[in-house]
Chain A
Amino acid sequence: MSTAVLKIHDLGKAFREYDMEWQRMLSWFGARQKPANEAWVLRHVSFQLFAGECVGIVGQNGAGKSTLLKLVTGTLRPSEGSVRASGRIAAILELGMGFNPDLTGRDNARYTAGLMGLSPQQIDSIMPAVEEFAEIGEYFDQPLRTYSSGMQMRVAFSVVTAIRPEILIIDEALSVGDAYFAHKSMARIREFRAQGTTLLFVSHDPGAIQSLCDRAILLERGRMLMDGTPNAVMDYYNALIAEKENASVEVRQLQSGLAQTISGTREAVVESIGLFNGAGEPVEFVNVGEPVELRVSARAYGDIPRLVFGYMIKDRLGQPVFGTNTHHTRQALEQLRDGQTVEFRISFPMNLGPGSYSVSTALCSTDTHLIDNYEWRDLALLFTVANQDRDFFVGTAWVPPLIEIRRGQ
């Protein structure tokens, strides 16, 4: 194996708050000051990257992924430990790059290239390629304030990757923008990698991690939990999330920032809900077309003459993707006693397109929840579908094609 291009040793970052700001100022000059609050967002992280390697960073929100990338880029300084990199680092951290809205795309691109330390000759020589790669047409000479966020992303990515860096750092920036450009940038990243660029990559898209990376690192609350193959790390991550789910629903609600709506008489209540893969393991990330089972257990609080269970899968915009209930499938239950539990197991192939989805559940007595609504629960479950091994496609449905091509003479 070649030499390490990035060595991270016992890296830690603490954000310190002081009662009085002058205490912080004294601490610069060596005076020991006790901070009022010290939050370690990252600690004891060590790993090495080798030339041409692609490493994905995985973790939930607040795990310290972005902090780690900022430390590697150098915009944040470590509180302890060290980051040693050899070669030029290019980073796309979040969107915007500090663009100036009144300057044109071209001027902003030149400005960013200057910030990267390029000489005017170098800037002149890369500009045609930047303009061509961004593909925003005459907008390139319009002020940036007229741009959409996707167009800004195009310019930012085109400039930062105009010259192949030794280390490329990407923080979820690729998830912004349209699929066409996402693929174009992926192609460029793959090309760089083939030429020996080391890639450090944060993504919530397990598909991207699994298809692109040789290695993945799992962060959890600022600690490095795992450093291994993408598949092993993603499985562990799935399990970690599943465990959290069972332990407490409250935490999840806070993290996703979504408010769950539960309504109804509560005469029947969904007690647990989970998505399981073919091996019976709980999953949050599902491959396109993978067979899964939705397991819902409910309990009756009171005698119920007739119970219908319904569920609905919605996309991230809340549009229904698929929904049905046991009235329509002629499986309604009759005469439930107080305290009796029921488990519903719904097996189906995950024939959905990549994206995040939610499941809503309903317990009622007829085919609509407008009569005898026992319980209606929105966002009862969240899961993500990733395209791990199929050819690229867009849309919320997986309709496997068979393309036959006949060429004429």
Chain B
Amino acid sequence: MKLMLLAIWQYRHFILTSIRNDLRTRFARSRLGAIWMILQPLAQGAIYALVLARVLGSKLPGTTNRYAYVIYLLAGLAAWSLFAEVITRCLTIFVDNASLLKKMMFPRICLPLIVSGSCLLNNLFLLLATIGIFIVIGNEPGWMWLWLPVLIGITLVFALALGLILGVLNVFVRDVAQVMTVVMQLWFWLTPIVYVVNILPGTFATVLRLNPMYAITSSYQQVLLWGNPPHIKSLSVIFLASVVMLGLAMGLFRKASPDMVDVL
């Protein structure tokens, strides 16, 4: 553990440079460049807002704000996009970096850190854009927004733990990544992001509460839309479970690493 932290410290500049390179290469050959980072999630939000708020006329119960649904939606998407990006990138983290792993000797722990950093940065841009929209449509920033860093941290740890376990497995059984694209779609719809949990029948809503992403997205929604504190109790449980899971992921990673380069 101490050795690992030491390696991270020694490679800190490399990690930072890699995060920067990551962003730069993603938009290296597009004209609008980094603007896409904000445009893409915004377009997604706009589509849902258009389809569901206008066409379906779904309004949030118990609010007079005509933009309430848009805020609700963007809050949920902010949480989900961080979760989904970390998971999908961790899933292929070792497979994508196969040539690097085969040719260079460096602390492997750098890879998930680079992914986390670049996902966090992406999410930050998205949050800034979201907040910009909130201000435009008259959703004043509140003190509860200070919960955001905590929520982001919990989401990241949870996604990283799950993503790393799946990423290690995916090296050996490549079907994992295929299955996960389907699972992530399903998971998205099993989380109240574009709909409100009240519209579900009672039994279904109870089952939904077992979904950790439900507690996370609804905390985002509570904080950003309603100005309420998040579900501290369920978040603490998720956080503790995620830390344990992260420990397991690191253990699995350590056990699997000797075999990993063999099959890459």
* Chain A contacts to B: CB under 8 angstroms: 15-16, 21, 24-25, 28-29, 70, 73-77, 89, 91, 93-94, 96-98, 100, 102-103, 107, 110-112, 114-117, 119-120, 143
Contacts and interface: CB of A to CB of B under 8 A. Distances in A.
Contacts of B11: 114, 117
Contact of A103 (B25, B169, B262): B25
B25 A115 contact: no
Given A96-B99, A100-B25, A115 B104 contact: yes
A75 B13 contact: no
Nearest to B259: A24
Given A93-B103, A111-B17, A120-B13, A143 B172 contact: no
Contact of A77 (B99, B100, B172, B258): B258
Contacts of B25: 100, 102-103
Contacts, number: 81
A97 B104 contact: yes
Contact of B21 (A77, A96, A97, A100): A100
Contacts of B252: 28
Nearest to B171: A21
A111 B21 contact: yes
Dominant SS at the A interface? mixed
16 contacts: A21-B173, A25-B172, A28-B256, A29-B255, A75-B102, A75-B261, A77-B261, A98-B100, A100-B25, A102-B24, A102-B28, A103-B21, A115-B14, A116-B104, A117-B11, A143-B28
Most buried by B among A24, A74, A103, A114: A114
Contacts of B211: none
A74 B105 contact: yes
B106 interface: yes
Interface string B245-264: 00000001001111101100
A75 B17 contact: no
Q: For B17, B24, B29, B257, which residue has the most chain A Cβ atoms within 10 angstroms?
A: B17
Contacts of B18: 111, 114
Given A103-B25, A111-B21, A115-B106, A75 B101 contact: yes
Contacts of A102: 24-25, 28-29
A75 B21 contact: no
B10 interface: yes
Contacts of B24: 102-103
Q: Give the interface centre of B97, B173, B255, B259 by most chain A CB atoms within 10 Å.
A: B259
Contacts of B21: 100, 103, 107, 111
B82 to A, nearest CB: 24
B13 A76 contact: no
A28 B259 contact: yes
Given A102-B25, A110-B17, A114-B18, A97 B103 contact: yes
A5 B102 CA distance: 23
Residue in B11, B102, B103, B255 whose Cβ sees the most chain A Cβ within 10 Å: B103
Nearest to B258: A77
Interface of B: 10-11, 13-14, 17-18, 21, 24-25, 28-29, 97, 99-106, 169, 172-173, 252, 255-259, 261-262
Contacts of A114: 11, 13-14, 17-18
A290 B115 CA distance: 58
Nearest to B104: A115
A98 B99 contact: yes
B101 A117 contact: no
Contacts of A76: 261-262
A94 B103 CA distance: 8
A15 B13 contact: no
Given A25-B172, A28-B256, A114-B17, A98 B106 contact: no
A29 to B, nearest CB: 7
B28 A98 contact: no
A116 B13 CA distance: 12
A94 B259 CA distance: 21
A36 to B, nearest CB: 14
Given A29-B255, A98-B97, 16 more contacts: A16-B262, A24-B172, A25-B169, A25-B172, A28-B259, A70-B261, A75-B103, A76-B262, A77-B261, A89-B105, A91-B104, A98-B99, A110-B17, A111-B17, A114-B13, A115-B14
A77 B257 CA distance: 8
Q: Which 3 A-B pairs have the closest CB atoms?
A: A114-B14, A98-B100, A28-B255
A314 B97 CA distance: 41
Contacts of B261: 70, 75-77
B105 A15 contact: no
Contacts of A97: 103-104
Nearest to A77: B258
B97 A75 contact: no
Q: Find the residue from A25, A91, A143 having the highest chain B CB count within 10 A.
A: A25
A15 B17 contact: no
Nearest to A100: B25
Contact of A117 (B10, B28, B102, B259): B10
A28 B251 CA distance: 10
Nearest to A110: B17
Contacts of B13: 114, 119-120
A15 B264 CA distance: 12
B235 to A, nearest CB: 31
Contact of B104 (A16, A98, A120): A98
A89 B106 CA distance: 11
A202 B105 CA distance: 19
Nearest to A90: B105
B105 A75 contact: yes
A103 B106 CA distance: 20
A72 B21 CA distance: 29
Contacts of B169: 25
